[in-house]
Structure 1
Amino acid sequence: MVRPAPSVETTERRIAADAVATADLAGRVRAAQIHAVTRFAPLTMLANLINAGVVLWVVTGDTHIGLVGGWAAAVVLMVAATTLGWLRTRGRQPRSTASPRAIRHATVHAALLAMLWAAVPLLWFGRLPIEDQLVIACLMTGMICAGGFALSTVAPAAHVYVGILTLGSVLGLLQSDNSFVGALVALIVAYSLIVVQSVSGYSRLFAERFVAEARLKDRGEIIELLLNDFEENASDWLFETGPDFAITSHSPRFAVAAGLAGQSLVGRRIADLLAPEGREALAQRLAAAEPFRDMEVRVETPDGPRWWSLTAKPVLADDGRPGSWRGVGSDVSDRRLAGDKVAWMARTDLLTGLPNRTHFRDLAAAKLAQARAEDSGFAIGFLDLDHFKSINDTLGHPVGDALLTAVSHDLSQLAGPDVVFGRVGGDEFGLIVTRFSDRQAVFALADAVIAAVSRSRSIDGARLTVGTSVGLAFGTTETIDDLIRNADLALYRAKDQGRGKSMVFDDAMHREAEERRRLQEDLRTALDDGELRLVYQPIVDLDHGGVIAFEALMRWQHPERGLLSPGLFIPIAEESGLIDAIGGWALRQACRDAADWPRHLGVAVNLSPAQFGQAGVLAHVTHALAESHLAPHRLELEITEALFMARHGNNERFLNDLHALGVRLALDDFGTGFSSLGYLTRFPIQKLKIDRSFVHGRADDDGRRAVVEAIVGIAHSLGLVTTAEGIETAEDLAWVTALGCSQGQGYHVAEPMPAAAIPAFLADFQPASRVACPAL
């Protein structure tokens, strides 16, 4: 189950706790810095007294006895005060923390001491003979270097100390008429800069090392507490066994997991608790006498079957053979069940419970192979509901979903070992028939299907009657994809000839192919004649309510047939090879339009499965970005699971090349098939778009909720963004927001619009009224 997002109050408390912890650690670092300086206080003060004596000896001839005496008295007072302060704290425990004020105090102390010593060259250097000047110069150089390094853990104090002494020394040197003054000034400045740089580096290293040691100590204490608490409170358990894996000691949790709470398992062999296949696997691991990890085994407990994960390592005896084993176990039943459920959901249409498109095709391929092996009959069929869209448009999608559920239930009554139904599209169902004696049996079944679907139903107070037609294809020599295509063509023929009947694919259906050819020819000139256009549907951030991007949707204004949706002409473009030119135009146009939008807005463009792996796509994307000057991160390319199902050898390189351009990649219609689940960590996908079939409908539908929660959980674990498509109502919006979806789009937010209408839409858009939703 996906954990709910933390509340604002929880987040603020966590931030406050982190701030407190960081401030505490900073205080501990400051205390360590000051302690490192003060522990050498006696030695440094002794050095100050010795140096003061040297100064007095050198300037003894100065006639200003009062000035010399005052300076010496000040030094003695500073030394005495520092030493007394050190003596007062000598017997105490070093402070564990210090405030920034302590650092400022140390800096002021260093500044006062430096000013006392900076006075020496300022007052007397110019008056002394050259021999005495050399003594003072050496003394000041030593004071700068030694004092700087003595204060190196407190960088501000060291910098102030070295700076004041350097300034006093330079000013004193400039009072001398010595010919080497310039060189001496350059040297002392250079030495001072080296000392300052070294102090800065050492201070930083000192702080970093202290922080690392403090955190390591804290973590060690936490680990120790966790280990002490593990055996009593953890969901996992520890155990020790003899060489035959008979238990010699164990955590209380082990008995609970075995369904024997309160009892001792000492003396029992772990193998006796396992299912037969688990015993065999464990015996092989014990025979190898090598450590093993995460071995999942089935366990029979009084509460029913469970799954355990076992990890163990041998403790070798003197002869090199295992004298005992030590290990840890955990109950992974919930994870196994969740994995099985996700796999089932990936194969199953959650609305109807029938196999989804991917699973239906796999079943059909397997049934076809079986029919070939048995030399028996095989037929595949397709049917869809007449005027289903009008039901959705007039009565709403919940009624449409309820109708699909009712139809699937009626179809299931006709299923059997040799008859399989599946839901392969919005209102489209598939049929597989095997082991029939003659075609008349299949025709009779098709008539029964039409009768079952076409009956009148009462749904949510509305009386609904829908019709259907069935397209059939027979044979075992063609590929499954050819048979699926033929059955689909037969369905279109049945619908064109009055509906409510079944049709078998035959050569006459080439007329329909001819019609498609004419539409294909029209499509070849549509791009040059400016008949293709893009409209844009906004995508909003569900946390803040603002528009963050627009998805580009293609339309064809046919001169005779009017406005055509992409579902009609994109398949023709894919089959004819026109998709490359049309897709390239769509990329360039979308990037040109997006370049005029505010810079925080991106644009999403769909890539057709037929474009996957084509080098031209990379060229189109590169050209579109260069021509429009659109930042690459503002372009998002939407791909579908067909990329993975097609199994092109260069798919991985193709996606990595697109990602290297800086554009974002989104997986569209996620959740409608199984193939994509194994590729989420392999390919550079950054967004999952949840198919509208999971978004729009009853909020209390546990199946739909489980799918969306699973998808959001997968996305959060992998650091991916989730976009809920098909948000038709405020209830849809509240539902997906509560489940943790990052973004959303649909007619509840806005209908697709031409690029020219976007500025006015953005100006009038009210996030509070359009996107904000009540808590569930």
Structure 2
Amino acid sequence: MAERTFTSESDELPEDGRDGLLKSLFAEWQSMMLGCLMTGLSAVAVALLMRDWAANAATAAIVAVAAIRVLLLKDHRAAARSLDEGDIRRLETQYVIAVCAYLLAIGALTAIATTCSSDPFVLVVVTAMWATNAVAIAVRNFAVEKGVGWQITAAATPLACAFLVRGGLFPFLVPILVGPVCAFIQSSAARLRNTFLSEMSYRRRSESIAAQFDFAINNMSHGMCMISADRLVLVSNAKFAEFFGMAPGASLAHVDFASLLSQAIERGAIARENADKLLDLVMTPKADADQCDVQIEMVGGRVYDVTLTRHDNGSCVIVVQDVTEKREAERAIDHMARFDSVTNLRNRRSFETALADTLATARASGARTEVLFIDLDRFKQVNDTLGHKVGDKALVIAGDRLCAIAGKDDFIARWGGDEFVILRSRLAGTTDVENFAARVIATLSRPSSIEDAEIVLGASIGIAVAVAGEPSADVVLQQSDMALYTAKREGRGRYRVYEDAMRRDAQERRLLELDLHVALAEQAFTLVYQPIVDLETRAIVGLEALARWMHPIRGAVSPGDFVPALEELNLIHAFGAWSLQRACADAVRWPDHIVVSVNVSAKQLEADFLYEAVRRALHAAGLRAERLELEITETALLRDSEAAQTTLQRIHALGVRIALDDFGTGYSSLSHLMRFPLDKVKIDQSFTALSDNEEKAAILIENVARLSRQLGMVVTVEGVETVAQLERMRRLGPIAQGQGYLFSKPIPSVAVDNLFAGKSSLGVA
């Protein structure tokens, strides 16, 4: 960096520059007083030898001004601690005036002696006195640039005048001697002043940098320390002092590092074993690494990462970072990565790792590996009706019960949602997995009370077994999932062990699912209609729409096969919307009193899709709402009764009729007749087929028919195939409508058109 030059007092000075310049004027006050004393004594000696009044007057002036300078020095020292800008300028002015007067008196005495005395001693004394004080202008008084000029003028003018008056060769001394000396003094003073100010500016910048560095390292989040090659602390910050249990402001400079560790042990800040670890890190260089790391746990429990970096000269830098919160966060993240946040059981990822490890061990030992895939029955209903908070507590209870019943070596995890998995390892040739599964179902089926609500869940379990580590983890999980699917399809609340036939069923189901996607996209489904007849007049009052699917390879696929698959694929809403649109579009061509009935599955009642689908279908076809009837099974109502009730009430408000289908095959709760907005009850065909000797069934049908009629509902009997069945149903009570093969099989819409056009007729007149 180039040195800065201060050319005049108008140049910008450092903040404390002017004060520093003033202090330089009064610096080394002992030498100034000694100089005044020696000058005064020399002047007195000259005056005594010359015995001249002018010399005496000049000497008196020298002594008087010297006394004034001493008083000014005393004034400055008294005010040195509280100087403002005005004080500084006042003292500068006083100092310059006093020095000028002092030098003028010395110059006058020198001129008098040079002019009036021929005594060599006198001439030598005055010459030395003048020369030393003239040189002192540059050495002591350089601080005030303008004052230097005045001082040189005051000192040189009397001497120059004396040389001119003396005549002879003396006048030549003015340009030859006095001029160069004055110029030398002037330039020397300027150079010294610039050097002084540059040094002051440099010191100021150095102090600022040092302060910034000190601020930076003492506000670091990490502790930092530099250690010399002889293991003395050179630089450290407050955090490093805190690391050793010292006050933040404690100075560690030039403290031996080993002593620092010993003091920390005595204060109880660090355990001896950790102190030895740190000392070894510093004292023993590693040949293959310039940087070393170690983790230290302090006595208070806080954890620090210590990083040491070595320099080629043998010194090193230690950085200490408090990683307590970081380590706790890492532990929390690791826990979240391996454990379920709701049940605190292991999660899916942990289970997959454990299964892979268990199978690897089993390949060597030949042990059996058993996987139980558990699905909680009725959990969705609990979660939807009582809220997620209750649902989470139900999951916790289920997890606790599984832990209580499982063996100490069994691995239990929450797979996700309402699914759990258990991993068991057993010796070859031993198994109680089916008994264990039965106990799990019984345990999870016990009632529990959560927030004043009685909860009864249950479980379905799929079991897969690997022997000697085979098959692989992925295959075992697939097998347990297929077994679970089979258990749920067979009625829930049961377990199934994987069989090869399940894989074939799964593959067939997968192909069916692919075909369903294509069929829905290409509208390969059709609707047929079965007439509903007024039993008094034998007239058609309605038609029930029934879906059919003719596959090019499979042939006719039963709704009992493809409707559940549509529900699993979540395609039932799209299929239901198509069914409603097709049925309404067909019905609008038929007589205005004919009602068209469309079956609705349980899953369709779970959301607002059904309401919107009904509204759009009616609007698109231009069909009056009273001519559309939705048939709902009891099972569908129970699946999510609150949601079903809300949805059906909204649809009923449009004017659409609601029929309870297959009454008697589900839970047969009479409360359904009161709770839901029903317009019709359809008695299942299983009652129609009963003989006259089935007295209990007859009583049930008779009473349900009468009760329904009293509640304003129409009663329809399904599955009427013979005249005898028809007559028996009519004798039992007020049954208004009938449906079955006795009247007509399901027929396509074209046949219905012909029927109403009089081109065909029903089977029974």
What TM bracket, shorter-length normalisation? 0.3 to 0.5
Bigger relative contact order, structure 1 or 2 (CA pairs below 8 A, ≥6 apart): 1
TM score, norm. by length of structure 1: 0.37
TM score, norm. by length of structure 2: 0.37
